[in-house]
Structure 1
Amino acid sequence: MVCTGHFLNPHLPLEAFPGIHKFKGQILHSQEYKIPEGFQGKRILVIGLGNTGGDIAVELSRTAAQVLLSTRTGTWVLGRSADWGYPFNMMAIRRYYSFIAQVLPSRFLNWIQERKLNKRFNHEDYGLSITKGKTAKFIVNDELPNCILCGAITMKTSVMEFTETSAVFEDGTVEENIDVVIFTTGYTFSFPFFEEPLKSLCTKKIFLYKHVFPSNLERATLAIIGLLSLKGSILSGTELQARWATRVFKGLCKIPPSQKLMMEATEKEQLIKRGVIKDTSKDKLDYIAYMDDIAACIGTKPSIPLLFLKDPRLAWEVFFGPCTPYQYRLVGPGKWDGARNAILTQWDRTLKPLKTRIVPDSSKPASMSHYLKAWGAPVLLACSSTYL
């Protein structure tokens, strides 16, 4: 198993920024940034607005003289808590939301999504709205809007060029006396320990069967674990990948022959080159769809109709409640006897750390109430399954 993941080699696109070699200040990639000490009182330009760029900008805004945050495309900003203060991922990643998202038109869902996100704060007013024609993206950051609101962070367009001490932006504005430029421009992944043609093939996700097995191997003796982007927990996805890979290695699960996999991947690559279909290899995968796909290969995907017949209470929690990894321990290889109880009591464990001050005679919400509340606005939250 190769578990090196996405974040192997820093991507530092200096050639895309004219004049950067003239710049006399400090230049570093986010991989080199560790702590805010050493940046006190400085004017800092952060390039790139992903999760890393937002986190670094917020942290430095507490000590730096000024933080400028440059973005080409903008982003939607999500908080870690959702409605009623519950954890966002537990509220958003649910099977019945995914079902609704498949039924309703995507344009309608996007409209609902934008209204809901702008209700927290207007992204256009904060300089965060998505550039027209660009694909929508999301980051998770609770403090960024407040930092922009109080002036600790200033949003900027993309950088057009650098001088020795300043940056010129696409909107024509110039920021002088910049001390530090931090590139939060992501990473590239590679497999330098492989020989060709495997080395080049594995860098193309299209040639990885279900993002795990290289298509050109006659025997499935190699698995790439964690080289995926999910709209949910990557750790849960990698665990399921590893469970599948070990069973394939042992011969307990089969995958299609390499000739078939290579033919299908090659045909898809040609269609992408000709513009017939879109290249989605860099897009985040739907969490529940991908987890269910791998679980079906193992034999651990829960059957909702069967659950409603055998155990209606559990079925209700599985379909309407958070899609947590316990669901893939209910049946099949690796079945855990405690999975049912873990699912039925997951909200108790979630809220337990918050119960440090109990108000006399206050009613404790039952687990069912969380789902009854959610039913009150199913359409408004249907698009939440696409947030992460």
Structure 2
Amino acid sequence: MSKKKVCVVGAGSSGLTCARQMLDYGFDVVLYERSADIGGLWAYHDDDVEGRASVMRTTIINTSKEMSAFSDFPPPKDLPNYMHNTKMLGYFRSYADHFGVTKHVKTRHDVVQVTPAADYEKTGRWDVLVRDLETNNDHTETFDAVAVCVGHHVYPNVPHFKGQEKFRGRIVHTHSLKNADSFRNHRVAVVGIGNSAVDAVVDVSYVAIETYLSTRRGAWVAKRVGPNGMPIDIFLATRLKNYILSLVPESVSNDYVENILNSFFNHEAYGLKPKHRYNAQHPTVNDALPNLILSGKVRVKKDIVEFTEDGVLFEADDKATLLDDVILATGYQIKFPFLPKDVLSVVDNQVQLYKYVFPPQLRHPTLALIGLIQPVGAIFPIAELQSRWLAELLSNKRSLPSEKAMFENIRRKRESMRHRYVASPRHTIQVDWINYMDELASQIGARPNILKYFFTDNELFRALLGPCVPYQFRLEGPHSWSGARQAILDSRHRIMYPLNDRCTSFSKKKK
């Protein structure tokens, strides 16, 4: 019997781990990437290309290396805990090379259309129309399954403001923002309060004359550096804390985190405190912003009421503020133009997907969206678990619930989100990290049985109650990894190792 052929669309972090899981299950894999290199969002480039996203030149990841790792590929101990985009890309390259993914990548190939094959009802196969961007030639190939791994940072959401057309300055979206060079000696306002917004306002503030941060709601801002100097996700994302907080009212959970964040700086005094609680919005992560507000390099403003010829009027201001540039950090629209609407429908950024992966109406589980998620935590191990689930389904080792059950699951999830989160397009694909990882792992039998280790391996049990590092999901289940236990136990050593090059006994002590 011939091997199943799997098409992976996009060679970013999600596409690379998806291809690796497919190869691990013995499938033939082709990974199409429209750009000239792997890495997706993390492959920085100066040019602004429609349909192709990249981080800014100075971008540093907001999740620490141990929490961002793929589950059987711990990062080297000498890598910093929060990696610059170049180091993040290096990690992805090493991963792809180590697991033999690189040779399956076809760069400069654009997937134009994915449609059900003529025999789809029987086989679940898909016809994929691909364009070679070097020759501009098209060809169609039939695959047993398709994994869409292009994410949601591709098509900018650009709102319109009153009077915007008469503004003589420049208006750009963060999608087009690669560096701050062109804003030197300018007066700049950044609209938004998400991670892209604060990264932009920080970067620009170092070269601009005046820099403003305009926000409607405000936000809870976390620092990368948590209590005792540990990465904040290592401190917060532990199984023990997650379990305890699940037992108490949500108001207690909110109080706990908000008190920690306010201990870093008073959000109300800094003009950032939102009306909603911490758990009602995706958190913003930035260490520099409070200092820049404190030193006057960034001034926090309310929403833009209207544009003038040479600036904007902010809400609650009596007169307009003079500006040369306005940067819109206003998020993205979820779009997949190569997929038919009857395959995947997107309305107001709401996507009909069972557990954010599978279109529930399809007869076969042979098309999956990998990495289309907004977690409070690292996305890379999530995409890996989603891919392992897909591989199990394609191997006929697992099955999905009925169509009715999947739609009901989607309905309940949307209702839960509507009650919890402030209304925003960014919250349509929001998940809690540990809970969602456990949910995915349960689909394939890879969720660790914590209580079992209390009786059989007390050292590991204590470690499992700590930071929920991704190696936990290779202890059990299909394609478990013999090195998972040691990777979990060694994680603290890898966290501490790069912090101190003075070679003190504290940072360099033996494992």
TM-score bin (small chain): 0.7 to 0.9
Is the contact between residue 192 and residue 199 of structure 1 (CA under 8 Å) also seen in structure 2?
A: no
Give, as a single letter, the amino acid of the residue that structure 1 aligns with 2:221. V
2: CA distance, partners of 1:89 / 1:216: 36
Residue 229 of structure 2 is aligned to residue 85 of structure 1: yes
2: CA distance, partners of 1:366 / 1:312: 21
Unaligned runs of 5+ in 1: 368-388
Aligned to 2:355: 210
2: CA distance, partners of 1:22 / 1:363: 58
Q: Secondary structure at the match of 1:341?
A: helix
Change (3 A) 1:205 1:181: closer
Residue 171 of structure 2 is aligned to residue 27 of structure 1: yes
Unaligned runs of 5+ in 2: 1-146, 422-426
Aligned to 2:158: 12
Is the contact between residue 157 and residue 171 of structure 1 (CA under 8 Å) also seen in structure 2?
A: yes
Aligned to 1:191: 336
Q: Secondary structure at the match of 2:287?
A: coil
Residue 464 of structure 2 is aligned to residue 302 of structure 1: no
- Which of 372, 382, 387 is the matching residue for 1:242? 387
Residue 240 of structure 2 is aligned to residue 106 of structure 1: no
| Offset of residue 268 of structure 1 | 4.8
RMSD: 2.5
Change (3 A) 1:84 1:268: closer
2: CA distance, partners of 1:26 / 1:35: 15
Residue 337 of structure 2 is aligned to residue 177 of structure 1: no
Change (3 A) 1:216 1:315: same
Give, as a single letter, the amino acid of the residue that structure 2 aligns with 1:162. F
User: C-alpha offsets along residues 211-267 of structure 1, whole Å, 9 cap, x if unaligned?
Assistant: 1111000111101101111111111100110111111112111111334424x2686
| Offset of residue 171 of structure 1 | 0.6
Change (3 A) 1:212 1:353: same
2: CA distance, partners of 1:363 / 1:28: 44
Q: Secondary structure at the match of 1:214?
A: coil
| Offset of residue 172 of structure 1 | 2.6
Q: Which residues of 2 match residues 1-388 of structure 1 at below 5 A?
A: 1-14=147-160, 17-131=161-275, 135-200=280-345, 207-262=352-407, 264=408, 268=412, 278=419, 282=428, 284-319=430-465, 321-359=466-504
1: CA distance, partners of 2:431 / 2:411: 21
Is the contact between residue 499 and residue 507 of structure 2 (CA under 8 Å) also seen in structure 1?
A: no
Is the contact between residue 202 and residue 208 of structure 1 (CA under 8 Å) also seen in structure 2?
A: no
Give, as a single letter, the amino acid of the residue that structure 1 aligns with 2:483. G
Change (3 A) 1:279 1:258: farther
Give, as a single letter, the amino acid of the residue that structure 2 aligns with 1:2. V
2: CA distance, partners of 1:72 / 1:298: 42
Q: Secondary structure at the match of 1:309?
A: helix
Is the contact between residue 254 and residue 277 of structure 2 (CA under 8 Å) also seen in structure 1?
A: no
User: C-alpha offsets along residues 178-223 of structure 1, whole Å, 9 cap, x if unaligned?
Assistant: 1001100000111211223123269875631111111000111101
Change (3 A) 1:178 1:230: same
Aligned to 1:370: none
More strand by share: 2
| Offset of residue 70 of structure 1 | 0.1
Change (3 A) 1:19 1:233: same
Is the contact between residue 475 and residue 485 of structure 2 (CA under 8 Å) also seen in structure 1?
A: yes
Is the contact between residue 373 and residue 429 of structure 2 (CA under 8 Å) also seen in structure 1?
A: no
| Offset of residue 44 of structure 1 | 0.4
User: C-alpha offsets along residues 95-153 of structure 1, whole Å, 9 cap, x if unaligned?
Assistant: 11011101122212322332222121111111111136994442110100000111111
Is the contact between residue 202 and residue 292 of structure 2 (CA under 8 Å) also seen in structure 1?
A: yes
2: CA distance, partners of 1:124 / 1:190: 36
2: CA distance, partners of 1:58 / 1:276: 31
Change (3 A) 1:339 1:276: closer
Change (3 A) 1:81 1:229: same
Q: Secondary structure at the match of 2:212?
A: strand
More helix by share: 1
Q: How many residues align?
A: 359
Change (3 A) 1:339 1:139: same
Query: Percent identity among equivalent residues?
Result: 37
1: CA distance, partners of 2:256 / 2:185: 42
Change (3 A) 1:165 1:3: same
1: CA distance, partners of 2:510 / 2:245: 27
Give, as a single letter, the amino acid of the residue that structure 2 aligns with 1:111. D
| Offset of residue 283 of structure 1 | 6.0
2: CA distance, partners of 1:204 / 1:279: 17
Question: TM-score w.r.t. structure 1 length?
Answer: 0.86
Give, as a single letter, the amino acid of the residue that structure 2 aligns with 1:165. D
Is the contact between residue 191 and residue 213 of structure 2 (CA under 8 Å) also seen in structure 1?
A: yes
Q: Which has the higher contact order (CA 8 A, sep 6+)?
A: 1
Is the contact between residue 283 and residue 376 of structure 2 (CA under 8 Å) also seen in structure 1?
A: no
| Offset of residue 86 of structure 1 | 1.0
Is the contact between residue 356 and residue 429 of structure 2 (CA under 8 Å) also seen in structure 1?
A: no
